[in-house]
Amino acid sequence: MADQQEPVFQIQRVYLKEASLEQPNSPAILLQGEQPSVDIQLGVEAQPVGEGVYEVSVTATVHTQIADKTVFLVEARQAGIFEIRNLSEEQMGPIVGVVCPQIVFPYLRGNVADIVQRAGFPPVHLQEINFQSMYEQQQQQAQGIKVQ
């Protein structure tokens, strides 16, 4: 009776998969008194890595500029390995697309702030993300529904 097995959800590991920092216009740009503009992009990816085991990663790209010159660019990918078993297809999407990223994101947020601060800048604190809304938008786009 495999149909009646208990659902399994376990965090196996959370880790910083990738991080980079670039300051291509230093030190000259650091002497400018202007406030830089900040652009932050986020992404979520999930992939199976074994039977009932998934890697879910959240990526952040933080690009700061003064005029058309880069002050710094940080790219970081935080990932988690999750054991997820005995769930229906309808349950898997929200678990992998919402629950797992919510677990991984605080680690990414801390690592980005730390990298930026260690580079000599005030830390950039990523805003909290509504992964439920992000997931729903992705689902609508995948179904060809126009998202406002």
Residues 6 or more apart in contact with residue 45 via CB below 8 angstroms:
56, 57, 59
The predicted-structure confidence for 52-95, as pLDDT tens digits, reads as follows 999 999 999 999 999 999 999 999 999 999 999 999 989 999 99
Side-chain half-sphere exposure of 117, counting CA atoms within 13 A: 9
Predicted TM-score of the model (pTM): 0.87
Residue 4 or 51, more confident: 51
Q: How far apart are CA 112 and CA 23, in angstroms?
A: 15
Report the distance separating Cα 83 and Cα 80, nearest Å. 10
pLDDT band at 146; cut points 50, 70, 90: low
Cα 111 to Cα 94: distance, rounded to the nearest angstrom: 25
Do residues 15 and 110 make contact, with C-beta atoms less than 8 angstroms apart? Answer: no
Domains of the chain (ranges plus CATH)? 2-140 (3.10.420.10)
